[in-house]
Structure 1
Amino acid sequence: MSCPALFNAWLHSGAEHLQLRASSSNPAIIPSRKAAYEKLVMQREAIVSLKQVIETGRTDMITDEIVMSAFALALHPPERRKGAAVRMRSAPLSNLQWLSRFTDIVISDEQVQGLRHLVNARGGFDKLEMPGLKQGLSTFNLLVASKSLTQPFWPLRSGLEAEAISKFLSSLQESPRENEYSFWSSLIFPESMAWEVQAVSLYTAMLHDYSKGLLPGLNTGYVLEIRNSIHYHVMSLPSILENPDILETSSLEYEACRLGLVVYSLLILFPVPLMTEPYPDLAQLLKNELVHVRVDPSPWMSNLDLLLWLLTMGGIAALGTDTRWWYIQQIQWVTAMLELHTWEHFKSTVASILWLDSPCDFEGLPLWEESCIIGA
Structure 2
Amino acid sequence: MQKQVPLTRLLTSPTEDESSSQQAQPREQQHHDANQRFTHTSSRQMRPHARKKTPVKPKTEIVKFPLAHTVSPTFGGLATKSFSHGGSDLPAYVADYTMNTILPRMLVHPTTSSSAWMEAYCQNPLSFHTFNFACAVHADLARNQIVRTRSREVLFHKTVAISLLNRMLTNKSNDLEIILVSVLLLAGNELDERSVSGLAAADLPGMHFQPHMPLCRWISVYGRMEGEPAHGAAMGLLVQQLGGLSKITMPGPADVIAFAELMWASPRLIRPNFTCFWDMDPSILRHHRIQSSEPGLPAPGRGFFTRIPGGLPSRALTTMIRLATIDRYMANCRSRRLQPDEMESLIATRNAVQHALLSLPTWDALTNEEKTYAHKQAYECCFQTAALYSNAVIMAFPPHLGWHVNFVYNLRSIIGPTPAEEWNDDMLDLLIWSLSVGALASFRTPERSFFEDCLKSVLRLRRITSWSEVQSILQEFLWSDAACRHGAAVLWASFRE
Relative contact order, CA 8 A, sep 6+: which one is greater? 2
Partner of residue 316, structure 1:
440
Offset at residue 270 of structure 1 (A): 0.4
Aligned with residue 136 of structure 2, among 12, 15, 20 = 15
Distance 1:276 1:350, change over 3 A: farther
CA deviation digits over 1:297-323, x for unaligned, max 9? Answer: 22xx11422211111222333345443
2:285 matches 1:166: yes
CA deviation digits over 1:263-287, x for unaligned, max 9? Answer: 1111221011236342122112222
Distance in 1, matches of 2:318 and 2:420, equals 30
CA deviation digits over 1:343-368, x for unaligned, max 9? Answer: 44434432342222233123334444
1:131 aligned partner, one-letter code? P
CA deviation digits over 1:168-197, x for unaligned, max 9? Answer: 665689949897676642221513322222
Distance in 2, matches of 1:62 and 1:289, equals 49
Q: How many residues align?
A: 361
Give the TM-score of the pair, scaled to structure 1: 0.82
Offset at residue 139 of structure 1 (A): 0.8
- The farther-off stretch of 122-131 and 281-290 is 122-131
Partner of residue 137, structure 1:
257
Offset at residue 101 of structure 1 (A): 2.0
Aligned with residue 104 of structure 1, among 224, 227, 231 = 224
2:328 aligned partner, one-letter code? A
1:67 aligned partner, one-letter code? L
Partner of residue 345, structure 2:
222
2:169 matches 1:44: no
Aligned with residue 31 of structure 1, among 138, 141, 147 = 147
Distance in 1, matches of 2:429 and 2:298, equals 22
Distance in 1, matches of 2:401 and 2:488, equals 18
2:354 matches 1:192: no
- The farther-off stretch of 7-16 and 260-269 is 7-16
Partners of 1:332 and 1:372 within 8 A in 2: no
SS in 2 for 1:221: helix
Distance 1:43 1:340, change over 3 A: farther
Distance 1:275 1:71, change over 3 A: closer
1:318 aligned partner, one-letter code? S
Partner of residue 289, structure 1:
414
Partners of 2:137 and 2:148 within 8 A in 1: no
2:270 matches 1:150: yes
Partner of residue 12, structure 2:
none
Distance 1:248 1:74, change over 3 A: farther
2:166 matches 1:54: no
Partner of residue 270, structure 1:
395
1:250 aligned partner, one-letter code? A
Partners of 1:74 and 1:111 within 8 A in 2: yes
Offset at residue 32 of structure 1 (A): 6.0
CA deviation digits over 1:199-226, x for unaligned, max 9? Answer: 222223223323344x766822221112
Aligned with residue 236 of structure 1, among 355, 359, 372 = 359
Higher alpha-carbon Rg: 2
- The farther-off stretch of 280-289 and 357-366 is 357-366
1:223 aligned partner, one-letter code? L
Partner of residue 306, structure 1:
430
Q: List runs of 5+ in structure 1 lacking aligned partners.
A: none
Structure 1 or 2: larger helix share?
1
SS in 1 for 2:151: helix
Distance in 1, matches of 2:155 and 2:488, equals 41
Distance 1:274 1:20, change over 3 A: closer
Offset at residue 247 of structure 1 (A): 3.0
Distance in 1, matches of 2:464 and 2:307, equals 20
Aligned with residue 119 of structure 1, among 222, 239, 260 = 239
Offset at residue 70 of structure 1 (A): 0.8
Distance in 1, matches of 2:474 and 2:301, equals 19
Distance in 1, matches of 2:176 and 2:286, equals 39
Partners of 2:300 and 2:328 within 8 A in 1: no
Distance 1:10 1:235, change over 3 A: same
Partner of residue 326, structure 1:
450
Partner of residue 75, structure 1:
188
CA deviation digits over 1:236-283, x for unaligned, max 9? Answer: 222225557553463321111111111111122101123634212211
Partners of 1:16 and 1:76 within 8 A in 2: yes
